[in-house]
Amino acid sequence: MLDSRSPITNNAPVAALPPGWTASRSLAASILLWFELLALAIGAAQFVVASEAIKHRATAIASLLLLLIVGVGVRVIPRVRKQLTQRCAWETLALLLMATGFVYGTGGVHSPVLALFLLPLTGAAIALGRIGYAVIALLVAGAAIGLGVTTPGISVETSSFAVWLIGTLVPAVIATTAIAVLIEQMQGAERYIQDLSAMDRLTGLLNHRAFEEVLTREHRKAERQSRPYCVLMIDVENIKQINETLGHDAGNKLITAVAAAIARSIRATDVAARFGGDEFAVLLTDTDLPVATTVGQRIRSHVYAGTISVANRMIRANVHLGLAGFPKDKPHYKELLMLADQRMQHDREMSRKVPK
């Protein structure tokens, strides 16, 4: 008997943005830019207003130049610019190195700009996730101890230095940890919303728009790697009649059951979607036409072998299939979809001519 109770959720969610790009990460990239500009402004102001406080001018200047070079580089080097996670990691590390160098150059432990360490901590909390944030927090602690070692008159083995270290770092770590937790929750909610926008609510399969996004990516990959794939179009027989005679709840149960049968008939690497109404589509990755034909027959058998119960009445489903394969049938995925749909329509017409 077909299982019409549980939605199908084995399709991977679809992201509308490039890999690594989400709304929250895009916001993080913008915030990191402002942090870089703020750090550069603080450094410039130190040279203009209180240059006498700068003990190691070469180190202070080098730290500012490093931040400027990294900030420009991650935005002009194509390979880094497109990988947002990598880009944020480089910017956060540059902020940490700039803060360490500039604080050392302006007095070490006694520097008036110790608050610069808040910038890489906050940047990591916003952009790098738990592990990235933990790494940056440890590096900040190490940098603070290193500053204690290099500052004249300071002994890192004394209790007074330990009190200074705790008083300086712990409030910043607590505040930025709270930011990291909030960002993680926001990203989880964002992923959930993306999943919902890509999903057909009745069946749990991908919807039409999300399927075409996946198909577009698979087509480009198949073209680059000279790999075959197939598209299978499916519609359910007599669903309109069932809706009219037994009600839309019965039709919905049948649609959900057919979706479950389709999902059981394909691999985890394949993708199934509901196109709306009684139509489904399946993307069979790395599959040629003979194998795809076997999969289509398996789907037809699994659907027909099951029944659902509606008002003490057993209903058996049947489907019509249309198959098209790349590159043998058509060179473009939109043409493949059209050809598969035409063949499905032909299968429907042929079934009507067969005596019941």
pLDDT digit string, tens, across residues 56-115: 889 989 999 999 999 888 888 887 777 778 888 899 999 999 999 999 988 888 888 888
Tens of pLDDT, residues 144-169: 888 888 888 878 788 888 888 888 88
| Nearest residue to 272 via CA among 242, 233, 323, 241 | 233
pLDDT of residue 190: 57
Question: Which of 2-16, 90-104, 177-191, 198-212 has the least mean pLDDT?
Answer: 2-16
The per-residue pLDDT for 281 is 92
Most confident of 47-56, 115-124, 149-158, 196-205: 115-124
Q: Which residue has the higher pLDDT, 53 or 42?
A: 42
DSSP string, 295-316: HHHHHHHHHHH-EEEETTEEEE
Helix (H) or strand (E) holding 324: strand 319-326
Instruction: Write down the pLDDT at residue 343.
Output: 92
- Mean pLDDT of the residues in the chain: 82
Please state which of the four CATH numbers 3.30.1490.20, 3.30.930.10, 3.30.70.270, 2.40.30.10 is assigned to the domain occupying 208-353.
3.30.70.270
Computed on alpha carbons and rounded to an integer, the radius of gyration of the chain in Å comes to 30
Q: Averaged over 316-332, what is the pLDDT?
A: 86
**What pLDDT is stored for residue 22 in this prediction?**
52
DSSP string, 84-115: HHHHHHHHHHHHHHHHHHHHHHTTGGG-TTGG
Cα distances (angstroms) measured from residue 111 to each of 56, 68, 121, 167, 304: 12, 21, 18, 15, 77
Higher pLDDT, 82 or 290: 290
Per-residue pLDDT band for 17 (boundaries 50, 70, 90) equals very low
Percent of the chain with pLDDT over 90: 22
Query: How far is residue 42 from each of residues 36, 116, 169, 309, measured CA to CA in Å?
Result: 10, 9, 20, 72
Q: Phi and psi for 16 in degrees, rounded to 5?
A: -80, -20
Range in 2-16, 154-168, 194-208, 218-232 with the lowest mean pLDDT:
2-16
**Least confident residue range of 19-33, 110-124, 164-178, 340-354:** 19-33
DSSP class per residue in 109-144: GG-TTGGGGHHHHHHHHHHTHHHHHHHHHHHHHHHH
What are the domain boundaries of the chain? 23-196, 208-353
Residue 1: the pLDDT is 46
Q: pLDDT at residue 333 above 50?
A: yes
- Using pLDDT thresholds of 50, 70 and 90, give the confidence band for residue 31: confident
What is the predicted pLDDT for the residue at 23?
55
Predicted pLDDT of residue 50: 80
